[in-house]
């Protein structure tokens, strides 16, 4: 296995983080989870709404109940050891007042000969890559532990430089700093050892640890200056009040003129020189259904004029030496013309935006449940 090489050329998101939510009346949800072959009840299956603390487990008869749920229009996830993860996005009309039956299929485990990195040293290195790709390099990441690393295994991709990670069961992560047990159901993970590019998708159920007051300050510190804070401030027309400034970087029509900026830092400085201030009402639009969308031709430079709690730790990290000055800066790259956004400040498609600068360090260890609100 090649030496550990982490770069920031990645496509990373947890689809758990960025699906729209709309407040609605509370409903009760009841149902059963069964094996699709024979309808055998499946006990201890996890039933939850993605990226929230809303969840439960089935009993010995495969039954579950979720009381007084505000349907957030996020995915409902059913996961159990040895079974494929089932994901769907229900409407209130589909499930309210009904006893739903969910059938899930057994997962096929690869043959022993297909599993890569079985030698202890190679496996440790692959696990380190997975850990850093998923959790990041922040102070919060250093306070996280994966409780069941034995559940994770690796397979070689079609390209010899690429490997994938899988798990037969939910991966349990304890975030001791933010006070959450994160139950990760991996959808896909790939890592290219030559380029350092990595890609991770999955679904997470959050479970609070202990007294929330113990972790309240750390959660607030993590929230302010985050993408969640920015998007919520944007739709509330509170960017300035919350410490943000936005700038548009127009696209370069002739990309060859930028070819001499081989140094990423020099390229970023050049982009900042071309950036022009742009107010929220010129990038945020509201349609007749009260849904939001971001539209910007080019990149968006976001400056957070305050010092977020994570800045000091990152400044001491080798990868950020000299790159963080007053406040923090992030670049948003839009892959589509319209970026859907709901009234809770959540993107409808996480892959439609990628980040450079400060926010590219924002990974799972620094995320909060979708239904989190600061005190």
Q: How confident is the model over 320-341, as pLDDT tens digits?
A: 555 556 689 999 999 999 998 8
| Concatenated DSSP letters of 48-91 | EETTBS-EEE--TTSEEEEEEEE--SPPEEEE-TTB--EEE---
State residue 114's pLDDT score. Answer: 86
Radius of gyration of the chain (CA): 22
Alpha-carbon gap, residue 198 to 10, rounded angstroms: 5
Distance between terminal CA atoms of the chain?
Answer: 47
User: Which tokens in the block code for residue 26?
Assistant: 């509370």
The pTM of this model reads 0.83
Q: Is residue 239 pLDDT above 60, yes or no?
A: yes
Alpha-carbon gap, residue 74 to 51, rounded angstroms: 8
Alpha-carbon gap, residue 312 to 22, rounded angstroms: 35
Q: Is residue 23 pLDDT above 50, yes or no?
A: no
- Count the residues in the chain: 375
Q: Is the Cα torsion angle 341, 221, 74, 14 positive or negative in sign?
A: positive
State residue 6's pLDDT score. Answer: 36
State residue 10's pLDDT score. Answer: 36
Number of Cβ within 10 Å of residue 15's Cβ equals: 20
Question: What is the percent of the chain with per-residue pLDDT over 70, rounded to a whole number?
Answer: 85
User: Which tokens in the block code for residue 117?
Assistant: 């990195």
Q: Is residue 26 pLDDT above 50, yes or no?
A: yes
- Averaged pLDDT score across all residues of the chain: 85
Q: Are 79 and 203 in contact (CB under 8 A)?
A: yes
State residue 72's pLDDT score. Answer: 58
Q: Is residue 342 pLDDT above 80, yes or no?
A: no
Kindly report the CATH class assigned to 16-104.
mainly beta
Give the start-to-end residue ranges of the domains of the chain.
16-104, 109-212, 215-366
State residue 12's pLDDT score. Answer: 36
Alpha-carbon gap, residue 11 to 190, rounded angstroms: 10
């Amino acid at each position: 296995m090649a030496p550990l090489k982490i770069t920031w050329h990645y496509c990373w998101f947890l689809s758990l983080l960025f699906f729209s939510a709309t407040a609605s009346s509370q409903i009760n949800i009841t149902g059963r989870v069964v094996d699709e072959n024979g309808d055998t009840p499946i006990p201890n299956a996890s039933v939850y709404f993605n990226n929230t603390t809303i969840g439960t487990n089935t009993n010995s008869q495969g039954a579950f109940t979720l009381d007084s749920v505000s349907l957030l229009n996020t995915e409902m996830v059913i996961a159990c050891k040895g079974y494929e993860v089932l994901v769907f996005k229900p409407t209130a009309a589909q499930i309210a007042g009904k006893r739903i039956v969910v059938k899930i299929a057994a997962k096929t485990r690869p043959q022993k000969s297909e599993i890569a990195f079985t030698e202890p040293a190679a496996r440790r290195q692959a696990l380190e890559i997975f850990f850093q790709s998923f959790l990041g390099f922040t102070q919060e990441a250093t306070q996280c532990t994966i409780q069941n690393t034995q559940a994770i295994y690796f397979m070689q991709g079609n390209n010899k430089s690429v490997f994938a990670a899988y798990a037969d069961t939910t991966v349990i992560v304890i975030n001791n700093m933010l006070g959450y047990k994160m139950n990760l159901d991996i959808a896909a993970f790939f890592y290219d050892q030559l380029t350092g590019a990595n890609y991770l998708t999955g679904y997470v159920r959050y479970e609070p640890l202990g007294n929330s007051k113990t972790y309240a300050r750390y959660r607030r510190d993590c929230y302010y200056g985050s993408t969640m804070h920015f998007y919520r401030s944007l739709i509330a027309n509170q960017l300035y009040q919350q410490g943000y400034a936005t700038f548009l970087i127009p696209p370069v029509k002739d990309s060859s003129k930028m070819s001499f900026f081989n140094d990423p830092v020099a390229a970023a400085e050049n982009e900042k020189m071309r950036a022009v201030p742009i107010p929220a009402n010129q990038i945020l639009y509201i349609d007749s259904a009260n849904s939001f969308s971001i539209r910007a031709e080019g990149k968006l430079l976001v400056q957070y004029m305050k010092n977020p709690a994570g800045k000091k730790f990152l400044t001491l990290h080798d990868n950020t030496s000299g790159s963080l000055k007053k406040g923090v800066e992030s670049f948003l790259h839009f892959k589509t013309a319209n970026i859907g956004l709901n009234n809770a400040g959540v993107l409808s498609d996480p892959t439609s935006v990628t980040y450079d600068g400060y926010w590219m360090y924002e990974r799972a260890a620094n995320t909060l449940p979708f239904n989190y609100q600061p005190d």
